[in-house]
């Protein structure tokens, strides 16, 4: 019979006596939204988290049957969208691009496993304040859910990859961004993303994954 470490037994006993329980994924997400917000508004039915001078709002809808955490960017549904059941079990996560009509990355519970679709580079935009007749400043956005550690690289030829300098995005939590000056004549770019460190154990998801994608510009 396998031996059981005394420390493990003591931890279980102490957890029971003190009422300490592992945090649910929903609690972790709510704490993350609240900790990084400019301001929080709380009612019986919802919590609203303000970001980026209220341009982005994170909303926690405390439904009876389902609980949702989602975002609005300048009045439009955009960004992280989490759906939980009444037992706080994650049913679905997407990075919403268009009021729920289109998303770039998603996780969905299928039977007893979670399935991944899409790519961690969830969106990009052009920095309009950058002025040049030969180049553009592209901003690439990467989700850090469900894996907290993300490294990104880009290439023109799929052979030599250059590291991107990723920084925490001020727009919303669980998001990093990289700014790259690219030639205006460039039609596409090759991306490589290394993601690891699951924030929460989700059956079916690997602890570490490598992603490749060709992004049309």
pLDDT digits (tens, 9 = 90+) for 80-139: 999 999 889 999 999 999 877 789 999 999 988 999 999 999 999 999 999 999 999 999
The pLDDT of 1-25, averaged and rounded, is 51
Query: What would the two tokens of residue 45 be?
Result: 């039915």
pLDDT digits (tens, 9 = 90+) for 31-60: 999 988 988 999 989 999 998 878 899 999
Q: Which residues make Cβ contacts (< 8 Å) with residue 21, sequence separation at least 6?
A: 15
Distance (Å, whole) CA 146 – CA 144: 6
Render pLDDT for 158-198 as a digit per residue (tens, 0 to 9).
889 999 999 999 889 999 999 999 999 999 999 999 999 99
What pLDDT shows up at residue 21?
53
Q: Say yes or no to pLDDT of 4 above 90.
A: no
Share of the chain above pLDDT 90, in %: 71
Q: What is the pLDDT of residues 194-205, one digit of tens each?
A: 999 999 999 999
CATH fold, domain 121-216, is Immunoglobulin-like (2.60.40)
Please report, rounded to a whole number, the percentage of residues in the chain having pLDDT higher than 70: 90
Q: Give the model's pLDDT for residue 157.
A: 86
Whether the per-residue pLDDT at 1 is higher than 50: the answer is no
- Of residues 148 and 100, which shows the higher confidence score? 148
- Mean pLDDT value across the chain: 88
Q: What is the pTM of this model?
A: 0.86
Residues forming CATH 2.60.40 domain(s) in the chain? 121-216
Concatenated DSSP letters of 20-50: --PPPHHHHHHHHHHHT-SEEEE-SSEEEEE
Whether the predicted pLDDT of 5 surpasses 70: no
First to last CA, the chain: 60
pLDDT reading at 10 higher than 60: no
Number of other residues whose CB lies within 10 A of the CB of residue 191? 22
């Amino acid at each position: 019979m396998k031996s059981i470490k005394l420390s493990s037994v003591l931890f279980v006993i102490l957890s029971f006596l003190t009422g300490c329980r592992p945090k649910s994924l929903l609690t972790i997400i709510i704490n993350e939204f609240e900790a990084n917000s400019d301001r929080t508004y709380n009612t019986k039915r919802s919590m609203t988290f303000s970001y980026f001078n209220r341009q982005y709002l994170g909303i926690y809808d405390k439904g009876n049957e389902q609980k949702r955490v989602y975002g609005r960017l300048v009045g439009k549904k955009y960004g992280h969208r989490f759906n939980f059941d009444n037992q706080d079990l994650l049913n679905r996560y997407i990075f919403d691009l268009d009021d729920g009509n289109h998303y770039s990355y998603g996780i969905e519970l299928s039977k007893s496993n979670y399935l991944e679709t899409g790519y961690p580079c969830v969106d990009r935009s052009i920095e309009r304040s950058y002025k040049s007749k030969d180049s553009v400043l592209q901003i690439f956005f990467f989700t850090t859910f469900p894996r907290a550690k993300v490294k990104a690289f880009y290439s023109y030829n799929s052979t030599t990859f250059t590291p991107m300098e990723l920084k925490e995005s001020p727009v919303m939590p669980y998001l990093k961004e990289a700014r790259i000056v690219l030639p205006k004549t460039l039609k596409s770019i090759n991306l490589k993303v290394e993601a690891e460190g699951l924030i929460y154990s989700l059956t079916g998801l690997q602890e570490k994954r490598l992603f490749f994608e060709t992004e049309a510009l």
